[in-house]
Amino acid sequence: MRAFRRSIDVTPGLGRSFVAMGDGLTAAISISRAAVGPPSFFRQVGAILWKDLAVELRTKDILSSMLVFGLIVLVIFNFAFELRGENLILVAPGVLWVAFVFAGILGLGRSMAQEKERSSMEGLLLCPVDRGAIFVAKMLGNLIFIVILEAITLPIFAAFFNLPVLTPGVGLIVVLGTLGFASVGTLFAAIAINTRAREVMLPILLFPIIVPVIIASVKATAFVLDGKPWAEIWPWVNLLIAFDVIFLAVCFVTFEYVIGE
Amino acid sequence: MSAVSGKGGVPTRKGDNLVNILGFVSFLLIAASMYMGLVFAPEEAVQGPAQRIFYVHLPQAVGSYIAFFLVFLGSIFYLWKGDVKWDVLARSSAEVGVLLTSLVLITGSIWAKPIWNTWWTWEPRLTFTLVLWMIYVAYLMLRWASEGKQGARYAAVLGIVGFFDVPIIFLSVFLWSKGLHPRPAGMDPGMLAALIVSIFAFLLLFTYILIQRWRWETSKEMVEEMKLKLGR
Amino acid sequence: MIGAQGFKGKSIQASLLAKSFGSIHALREVNLEVGAGEKVAIFGPNGSGKTTLIKVMATIMRPSSGRLHIAGMNPGENGHDVRRLIGVVSHNTYLYDDLAVEENLAFYGRMYGVENVKARITNGLRRVGLERRSRDRVRTLSRGMQQRLSIARATLHEPPILLLDEPDTGLDEAGQAQLWEMLTSGYADEPTVVMTTHNLKLGMSLCSRWTVLVDGEIVSEVAKENSSSESFQALYRRYAGAGT
Ligand SMILES: Nc1ncnc2c1ncn2[C@@H]1O[C@H](COP(=O)(O)OP(=O)(O)OP(=O)(O)O)[C@@H](O)[C@H]1O
Ligand SMILES: [Mg+2]
């Protein structure tokens, strides 16, 4: 019976009425007029996501800090590496991704800190919501913020270094790379926020795990810029896809263990 | 319900004796493998005496992979069953694993110096080991930075995520740079014997260390439990 | 039918509940049974574990050991069904500063799958006296107004069990007097209530059972009809003095 209920728990929105055969719940439903039937998984994801986007739209807290930081990274790297002429095409993809990842980590940390500051994560945990839905919503929010950051940074990068990065190929790689980065990042941000030295914990946890994402994204971007045939680029894109699929699943499943005390 | 079961983990006299015997045997075997590796095995034609470090290097690498797999198992079972003994297994294995990867990196550099004329090179297997080392150092840092059952859950999640990452890191690092790691081509029977003895010896030694660590951590958990029962 | 009559058994059954944070033992072996419709007050000095107990019962904190049943269900297995029955008001308001008053309620309404959200929001805001401020951002409200809004938030889905952790935080005299009114006026039947407060008078007047929590243990439990408020206050002072 226990296993049966658990299995229902992971398929949100489906078959919950079966559980209603349990004695406690029949009573529970008869007494609660206000809450009729559980809202679906996706409606709850939508509600949380809408809330995050609305708050960000008003404060621009996360986006502005990420954007400024990303630009600073680009400029600093320009001085550090003499980004001109010969070595440009070799170094530029790395610079681009370092800017994305550093700024992204900043955003991941901020968005989780917002939930923590006024204990609003506890408010979410009070709700009858799948922990997986909270993960999906948070992850999508982070993904959207980081992709917006990237969409603004890319043209600036193209102008700064006179590189043709505004192509569908680069766009695909950016989105795939960011998806993997954002899913693991969302999970780890939820962990780091409750540890000592939380600011440094997030990069320490995240960087080693996303090494494959960084390698694959940088390589694939470099190959695209270099005009290499797609046959050479595909292995990297496939690697990104594999990472995304595996870690979306792993993070979705494990998220419930990292929230709440 | 209680955190530490009355069985398995409790150090007993009888258990002590068995573990001591294991420790003694592994000590003897290590001595034997030293002899086999340094004296008995013939010298390798191309690399000369430097190749002999291989007899400790490889067992360490094998041991670290096993240790990280145990971290994974311990983590999964801890999240699933919630029994502290799984967490103890995971955290003990992580420590042993980090120790071993550190040794792998060090012996690898020592070997690389005469052969490749450099302490470090971004060769795929070295790079892979380094990333692995970083993940599990982060694991230990996370344990330090968080407390109680929450810390144990966090660590378990990292133990699972890290393990799923291993094959992807391996693949990406190998695609990233072509390897120049020595391949065991046509090994002399003497070398093979020395290798097998040393792998066996080191694995016994690691098991011994792991068990000792595990018993120590379990005792610590028991003391905590007793403190709680006594009310302070 | 609203209210707790629906269950045959207890609304809350906690036995040997314990919670520790590393080496800090916030709760040790708490036993508490609350029947349907019953009102229980928990008093205790700072750091005695009141908030921890409320959070464990609200299923946002996992107990380290012990058993907890809410309306006969185990929160570990039927988390959703349990959470739907619970409303929590605490010193944290669980509101979003940058969303408007009604947007906050709309958000929680969606999370709980509340029907007729519009009407219920209007009702709730009227109950707590905030109908004029529905378009304002929470950031612009005073602390007491935020607490009022938090009450509307917690009762939006009409939960039969209310867990209140210092619900009087920031409320003015009138607000404290109306606290009960704001919380339960929407109910046809009395909800089950467990509340903590440092305001002994308020807690004693609202609840029919008074308990004292010291150092993570319930050291005393008194029924209203068996005690006078003076003797309970004296009793509480003895415990609270010894507890810290
Ligand atoms: N997240 C936490 N991490 C570590 N310790 C905690 C945590 N939350 C509470 N504690 C500890 O648990 C004990 C009980 O705290 P709790 O907040 O439950 O007390 P309280 O009775 O609500 O106090 P107050 O009257 O001040 O609100 C305290 O010793 C506190 O330090
Ligand atoms: Mg409190």
**pLDDT tens track for C45-100:** 999 999 999 999 999 998 988 999 999 898 888 888 899 999 999 989 999 999 99
Name the pLDDT band for A21 (thresholds 50, 70, 90).
Answer: very low
Asked whether the beta carbons of residue A35 and residue C78 sit closer than 8 angstroms, the reply is: no
- Check CB contact under 8 Å for A128 and C81: yes
pLDDT of chain B, 232 residues: tens digit per residue: 333 334 445 556 667 788 888 888 888 888 888 887 777 777 777 777 777 888 888 899 999 999 999 999 999 999 999 888 899 999 999 999 999 999 999 999 988 888 888 888 888 888 999 999 999 999 999 999 998 888 999 999 999 999 999 999 999 988 887 655 666 566 778 888 888 888 888 888 888 988 888 888 888 888 877 877 776 5
Report residues of chain C scoring pLDDT below 70.
Answer: 1-8, 242-244
Q: Give chain A's mean pLDDT.
A: 84
Write out the E strands in chain C: 10-21, 24-35, 39-43, 65-70, 86-89, 161-165, 192-196, 209-214, 217-223
- Output A74 or B12, whichever has higher pLDDT: A74
Reported as half-sphere exposure (CB side, CA atoms, 13 A), residue C150 has a value of 33
Q: Is the CB of residue B172 less than 8 Å from the CB of residue B131? A: no
Burial class of residue C31, CB neighbours in 10 A (0-12, 13-18, 19+)? middle
Subunit contact A118:C92, Cβ cutoff 8 A: yes
Residue among C62, C111, C158 minimizing CB distance to A39: C111
Domains in chain A: how many in total?
1
Judging contacts by C-beta atoms under 8 Å, the chain B residues touching residue A242 are 168
The alpha carbon of C53 and the centre of ligand 2 are apart by a number of angstroms equal to 9
| Residue B194 phi, psi dihedral angles, 5° rounding | -60, -40
Residue-wise pLDDT for A214-252, tens only, equals 999 999 999 998 888 988 899 999 999 999 999 999 999
- pLDDT value of position A199: 84
Answer yes or no: are the C-beta atoms of C188 and C181 closer than 8 Å: no
Q: What amino acid is encoded at A149 in this protein?
A: L
**CATH numbers and ranges of domains, chain B:** 17-180+188-221 (1.20.120)
Distance of CA A160 to the CA centre of its chain: 27
Q: Is A97 on the interface with B (CB under 8 A)?
A: no
Considering only the C-alpha atoms of chain B, give the largest distance between any 2 of them, rounded to a whole number of Å.
Answer: 68
Write out residues with Cβ below 6 Å of ligand 1. A 261; C 21, 24, 26, 44, 46-52
C-alpha distances (whole Å) from C50 to each of A122, C125, C165 are 16, 28, 8
Kindly tell me if the per-residue pLDDT of A27 is higher than 70: no
Q: What is the DSSP string of A148-189?
A: HHHHHHHHHHHHHHT----SHHHHHHHHHHHHHHHHHHHHHH
| Nearest residue of B to residue A249, measured between CA atoms | B161
Q: In this structure, are residues B194 and B41 in contact, taking their beta carbons and an 8 Å threshold?
A: yes
Q: Does B16 touch chain C (CB under 8 A)?
A: no
Mutate to test the interface with A, among B78, B128, B132, B172 (most CBs of A within 10 A): B172
> Please, where are the H alpha helices in B53-123?
54-81, 84-116
Distance from the CA of A261 to the center of ligand 2, in angstroms? Answer: 16
Give the pLDDT confidence score for residue C240 in this predicted structure. Answer: 77
- Per the structure, the complete domain to which residue A181 belongs is given by 2-259
Contact B158 A205 (CB under 8 A): yes
d(CA C132, CA C39): 32
Higher pLDDT, B100 or A83: B100
Pair of tokens at residue C58:
């609200």
Count how many Cα atoms sit within 13 Å of the Cα of residue A86 in the half-sphere of its side chain: 0
At residue B23, the pLDDT reads 86
Whether the pLDDT of residue A134 is over 90: the answer is yes
Q: What 3-state class would DSSP assign to A255? A: helix
Coil, strand or helix: which one is A209?
helix
pLDDT band at A37 (very low <50, low <70, confident <90, very high): low
Residue B12, burial from CB neighbour count under 10 angstroms (0-12, 13-18, 19+): exposed
* Cβ atoms of residues B124 and B176 within 8 Å: yes
Closest atom, ligand 1, to C-alpha of C48: 21
Sign of CA dihedral B153, B159, B162, B167: negative
Residues of chain C that touch chain B, judged by Cβ-Cβ distance less than 8 Å = 18, 20-23, 25, 28, 62, 64-65
Extended beta strands in chain A, E state: none
CA quadruple C89, C95, C97, C100: dihedral positive or negative?
A: negative
**C-beta atoms of B231 and C28 within 8 A:** yes
Between vectors from CA A64 to CA A59 and to CA A65, what angle results, nearest 5°? 110
CB proximity A182 to B under 8 Å: no
- B2, B147, B232: residue with CB nearest C21: B147
**CA separation for the pair B79, A249 (Å, rounded):** 16
Q: How many CB atoms within 10 Å of residue C116? A: 12
